[in-house]
């Protein structure tokens, strides 16, 4: 069974040539992200992912997290790995220097996070939730809360969790019923139950800082009456040391399809008199604050899709190189060959490889735009970049996770019958990937957010800007000779036209027939993802061609052009059909009465 090897070469290419790392490094606060530092960080992260996290992936899946007596024990090796992870400074990579962080840009953090997720999906979820909690406290917490919790969380000594969902609520947060009762000392007593809480309990850190949605006694009904509270596993004394155990316990963990080493907890708050909590920001603004965590988590989950594409591809590729079966097609009486020689296996591998590279490129470009939206000195430039990030976050989350599932499934297919057997490892990738399209908002929720809040609300203005950026590539593609670029340009042009057609239809239809628009939301999200990925692959092919024309003989560039050609022929070619599903598909979606199902 092969171990994960971080694709550092492609990561460096995307960071420098597509995401514009040199421009990110010029932003105020990002100056330390020099090429030498970035390369050193990637190399060290690769060593940690390959040498520490990847070897724990399969044993962790087999052993799983264990629950007993309201406490969770992690699989063998996880506690030690997390201690080394924190001591090595990985928890602090993107955090504010004010709280002990390294302050490196999000785009570098995205590449490093992808490595954690590819190497060990279950392990990676703990720092993902902690980073989201840190970001929420930095932006909305009081000075006292920041002083009490942030340094320990940034250092990795304490972790964080996000507590939204309840048994009666699911994704409908308006139905949240957890209560928070004010106390004379300014704290609150929290009562309620939360489900599906990733890393709600574990034994890897000294404390867990739960961020919990709850209602105060005077709160209005619905989402406008939700507040956010810090509820620590252990109370914190005035000197920063840990105090008494809080009334916040894990009462069970879920038995799941995948990510077995990641404890998904049922959390009970206040069963023994009330869990002590502290209000974050203002009352009744909790959902607004929680979306800070949610957006950070949604991007991180999108990276899980990228990561499983890469990991499943590597495993399938290595198996295809070693598995000898049948003679080469069209050759009678010849020797048996490795299955990588067979055209259909090559088609599957190219599908996996191209989607891994396209989704990686899109995610890193969005991360770089996030850095500009935060750090650029010009307000208008910050605004433009933020609009791009807001539009693309649902795509990075929704499209990347959906193709991650498909790519992992294709990996099983490449293995044939052995893919269905756990010992090859291919099945674990598919099992682990399946949740990514569900948590932090299902693909349908992402798609409705995309067409409603991100498109219809502004009349499609940001989408039009993005389409304009895509079309600006046409002149550069037209200058290139050779059949690869002719094909890429033709497919890309048609695909951009399809996005424009479907986007215009959605913006117009949303106001007059929102149900028909919603019926096409997921096909449109996929359409935009496919085309945005194709945009980045076309850009990559142009950079590769320039390198070759300049005398660079690195085969990486030849492979990049060939992969972009495959993506154009096999993925971008889907765009017009997806656009038709958006504009013409509502009638079929809504055709049957409820009782006809």
Question: Cα dist. 178→165, 227, 228, 537 in Å?
Answer: 10, 10, 11, 47
Q: Report the largest interatomic distance among the alpha carbons of the chain, rounded to a whole angstrom.
A: 87
- Is the C-alpha dihedral spanning 217, 221, 227, 233 positive or negative? positive
- String of DSSP letters for 4-61: P---HHHHHHIIIIIS-HHHHTTSTT-TT--HHHHHHHHHHHHHHIIIIIHHHHHHHH
What are the b/e assignments for 273-284, b being 16+ CB within 10 Å?
A: ebbbbbbbbebb
Tokens of 554: 């690195």
Tokens of 560: 């990049």
- Is the C-alpha dihedral spanning 38, 41, 47, 49 positive or negative? negative
The closest alpha carbon to 267, from 216, 227, 206, 213, belongs to 213
DSSP letter assigned to residue 424: G
DSSP letter assigned to residue 442: -
Tokens of 271: 């069963």
**What are the helix and strand counts (H, E) for the chain?**
21, 14
Are 524 and 451 contacting, i.e. CB atoms less than 8 angstroms apart?
A: yes
- CA-CA distance, 192 to 214, in Å (whole number)? 8
- CA-CA distance, 453 to 517, in Å (whole number)? 13
Return the residue matching tokens 């389409």.
467
Return the residue matching tokens 């259909």.
344
Cα Rg for the chain, rounded, in angstroms? Answer: 24
- CA-CA distance, 526 to 255, in Å (whole number)? 30
Question: Cα dist. 236→187, 231, 274, 278, 329 in Å?
Answer: 13, 11, 16, 12, 68
Tokens of 362: 């899109």
Are 92 and 156 contacting, i.e. CB atoms less than 8 angstroms apart?
A: yes
Tokens of 16: 């420098």
- CA-CA distance, 452 to 524, in Å (whole number)? 12
Please confirm, yes or no, whether 440 is among the known catalytic residues.
yes
Which member of 380, 440, 458, 595 is catalytic?
440
What angle separates helix 379-415 from helix 461-471, to the nearest 10 degrees? 70
Q: How buried is 494 (Cβ within 10 angstroms: 0-12 exposed, 13-18 middle, 19+ buried)?
A: middle
Residues comprising the chain, all counted: 597
Which residues neighbour 26 within 8 Å (Cβ) at sequence distance 6 or greater?
none
Question: Cα dist. 286→182, 198, 454, 559, 589 in Å?
Answer: 16, 19, 21, 48, 35
Catalytic positions are 440
């Amino acid at each position: 069974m092969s171990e994960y090897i971080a694709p550092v070469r492609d990561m460096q290419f995307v960071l420098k040539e597509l995401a514009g790392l040199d421009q990110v490094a010029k932003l105020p606060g990002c100056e330390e992200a020099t090429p030498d530092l970035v390369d050193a960080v990637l190399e060290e992260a690769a060593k940690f992912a390959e040498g520490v996290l990847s070897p724990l992936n399969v044993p962790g899946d087999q052993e799983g997290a264990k629950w007993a007596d309201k406490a969770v024990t992690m699989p063998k090796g996880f506690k030690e790995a997390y201690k080394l992870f924190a001591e090595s400074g990985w928890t602090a990579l993107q955090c504010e220097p004010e709280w002990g962080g390294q302050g490196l840009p999000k785009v570098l953090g995205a590449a490093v996070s992808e490595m954690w997720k590819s190497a060990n999906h279950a392990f990676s979820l703990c720092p993902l939730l902690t980073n989201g909690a840190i970001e929420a406290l930095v932006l909305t917490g009081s000075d006292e809360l920041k002083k009490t919790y942030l340094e320990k969380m940034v250092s990795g000594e304490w972790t964080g969790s996000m507590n939204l969902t309840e048994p009666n609520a699911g994704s409908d947060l308006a139905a949240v019923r957890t209560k928070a009762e004010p106390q004379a000392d300014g704290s609150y007593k929290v009562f309620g139950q939360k489900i599906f809480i990733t890393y709600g309990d574990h034994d890897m850190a000294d404390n867990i800082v739960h961020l919990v949605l709850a209602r105060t006694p005077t709160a209005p009904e619905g989402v406008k009456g939700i507040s956010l509270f810090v509820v620590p596993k252990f109370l914190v004394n005035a000197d920063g040391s840990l105090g008494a155990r809080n009334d916040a316990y894990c009462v069970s963990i879920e038995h799941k399809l995948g990510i077995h080493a990641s404890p998904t907890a049922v959390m009970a708050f206040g069963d023994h008199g009330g869990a002590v909590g502290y209000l974050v920001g203002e009352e009744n603004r909790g959902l607004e604050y929680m979306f800070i965590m949610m957006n950070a988590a949604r991007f991180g989950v999108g990276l899980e899709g990228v990561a499983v594409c890469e990991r499943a591809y590597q495993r399938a590729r290595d198996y295809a190189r070693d598995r000898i079966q049948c003679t080469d097609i069209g050759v009678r009486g010849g020797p048996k060959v490795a299955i990588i020689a067979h055209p259909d296996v090559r088609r599957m591998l190219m599908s996996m490889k191209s989607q891994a590279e396209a989704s990686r490129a899109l995610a890193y470009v969005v991360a770089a735009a996030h850095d500009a939206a935060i750090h650029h000195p010009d307000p208008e430039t910050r605004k433009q970049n933020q609009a791009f990030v807001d539009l693309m976050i649902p795509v990075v989350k929704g499209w990347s996770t959906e193709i991650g599932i498909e790519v992992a499934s294709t990996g099983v297919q490449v293995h044939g019958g052995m893919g269905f057997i756990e010992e090859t490892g291919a099945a674990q990738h598919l099992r682990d990937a399946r949740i990514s399209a569900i948590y932090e908002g299902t693909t349908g929720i992402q798609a409705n957010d995309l067409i409603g809040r991100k498109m219809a609300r502004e009349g499609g203005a940001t989408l039009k800007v993005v389409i304009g950026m895509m079309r600006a590539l046409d002149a550069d593609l037209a200058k290139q000779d050779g059949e690869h670029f002719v094909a890429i340009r033709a497919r890309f042009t048609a695909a951009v036209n399809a996005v424009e057609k479907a986007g215009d239809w959605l913006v117009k239809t949303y106001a007059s027939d929102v149900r028909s628009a919603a019926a096409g939301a997921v096909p449109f999200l996929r359409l935009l993802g496919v085309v945005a990925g194709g945009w980045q692959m076309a850009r990559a092919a142009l950079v590769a061609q320039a390198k070759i024309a300049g005398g660079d003989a690195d085969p990486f560039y030849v492979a990049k052009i060939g992969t972009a050609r495959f993506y154009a022929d096999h993925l971008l070619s889907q765009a017009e059909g997806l656009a038709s599903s958006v504009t013409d598909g509502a009638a079929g979606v809504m055709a049957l009465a409820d009782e006809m199902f």
